[in-house]
Amino acid sequence: MSVPIKTIEQTASRKITPLESMRGIAAFVVFLFHFLLGFAPQYHGQEAATAIPGSNLIETPFFFLINGSAAVTFFFVLSGFVLSYSYFSKGINDGLLVSVIKRWPRLFPLALISVLISWMMIHYGLYSYTEAAQVTRSQWMSQFASSKGNFLELSFSDAFRQGFFYTFFRGDYNLNTSLWTMHYELIGSLLVFGLIPLLNGTSYKQALILFVLFMVAAFYTSPYMCAFIMGCFLSYYRCQVRPLMPVVHASRVLLIIGLVVVILTFGYMDPARGFYSFMHQDSRELMQAVRILLHSLASVVLIQMILSYDGFYKLLDGRTGRFLGRCSFALYVIHVPLMFTFSTAVFLALLDMIGYQGSVIVTFVLTLPLLFLISWMMAKIDEFWCRRVNRTVKKMF
């Protein structure tokens, strides 16, 4: 059964709960990706030197359960969709300049908070990731989540500038490597705002030409921009093309095919190994671009399925979904600093008492409530800030 178009149109001026729920799930998947990579790399599989051959997730389609790279690409596709949805559903471009002006101020507070927290942890010697990495043999953890540069020597003012400005406009992220996405999020958002007036009210054929041109340009310059473009065009299609087409009720067979496509595609990670060995390419740049494109396509299919099938829509539409969506951004930006302080300390404290595997399990269980509590508190700060930004910009225009 399909979700009536009017049901979704009624949410055009506010957040679509099922999609916000998926944003929260995606943020949690990123946490799972990093937790396993740090505390159980042998079962994760990304680091081939420590992976157990034939017994790690990355060699199987089940990697979709923890594929943080796929989750990040889903974030980008979803941003392209939700940022443009109200404009396409109403068929207007009014307020685009305001959206452009608000985008960076609305993004930086939580990123800045997470960077300053990370700096304080370093400054006061509260990080214990090095000792934990010696036990887990996680290269990613030992390198402070693959951080680069002299992050240990940065001053408070350096940290402030990084979280406030450089993370977004220069791509700096060595105090919190999860923030590598923020530069793409900002640029991709601005790209979406630029696409909206080009697409709004245009014919399907003209839109298709624009889609091909922008996709080709993005694929060869910055593949992650393909995700934003695809999300934006999906929004255009659902708002301005689909309502003009005959209503077609998809069968359960099509639903199953869609689920299989999403699972198999989200299970892929470069360099391809195990089940995905046939997709291996010698060019790392090409593999990365193909992976981003495949994950973007799967994200489009997933969003379309959620909005088209009543069962999926209702499953994700509720209090839990709103809570997950509310906490998603905060959970994403704070989970690595929390893992490298609280989680590593708990893991090391329990190691001699209950052994390696027991320590990993108990650490995971104890980390979850604290992660969601901190995320909820940070989300409250973010909501307060966003209201202030909205009021301030509204007075200006």
pLDDT of 245: 55
pLDDT-derived band at 282 (thresholds 50, 70, 90) equals confident
Q: Which amino acid is located at 381 in the chain?
A: I
Domain that holds residue 95: 5-396
| Mean pLDDT of all residues in 341-355 | 96
Residue closest to 259 by CA, chosen among 294, 304, 220, 313? 304
pLDDT digits (tens, 9 = 90+) for 141-184: 999 988 877 888 899 999 999 999 999 999 999 999 999 999 99
pLDDT-derived band at 10 (thresholds 50, 70, 90) equals very low
How many beta carbons lie within 10 A of that of residue 335, not counting itself? 26
d(CA 346, CA 371) in angstroms, rounded, equals 14
More confident residue, 145 or 11: 145
| Mean pLDDT of all residues in 119-126 | 94
Check: CB of residue 371 under 8 Å from CB of residue 31: yes
pLDDT of 2: 54
Largest CA-CA distance found in the chain, in angstroms, rounded: 67
pLDDT digits (tens, 9 = 90+) for 173-220: 999 999 999 999 999 999 999 999 999 989 999 999 999 999 999 999
pLDDT-derived band at 396 (thresholds 50, 70, 90) equals confident
pLDDT of 49: 79
Q: Which of 37-46, 53-62, 206-215 shows the lowest mean pLDDT across its residues?
A: 53-62
Q: Which amino acid is located at 66 in the chain?
A: I
What is the CA angle 369-373-376, rounded to 5?
Answer: 140
Residue closest to 132 by CA, chosen among 368, 372, 359? 359
Q: Write the CA distances from 127 to 38, 79, 371, integer angstroms.
A: 14, 33, 16
d(CA 249, CA 308) in angstroms, rounded, equals 9
| Mean pLDDT of all residues in 21-39 | 97
Average pLDDT, the chain: 92
The most confident of 19-33, 53-67, 139-153, 273-287, by mean pLDDT: 19-33
pTM: 0.93
Residue closest to 296 by CA, chosen among 24, 75, 28, 58? 75
Round to the nearest angstrom and report the end-to-end CA distance of the chain: 43
Q: What's the structural domain count of the chain?
A: 1
| Mean pLDDT of all residues in 333-357 | 96
How many beta carbons lie within 10 A of that of residue 345, not counting itself? 17
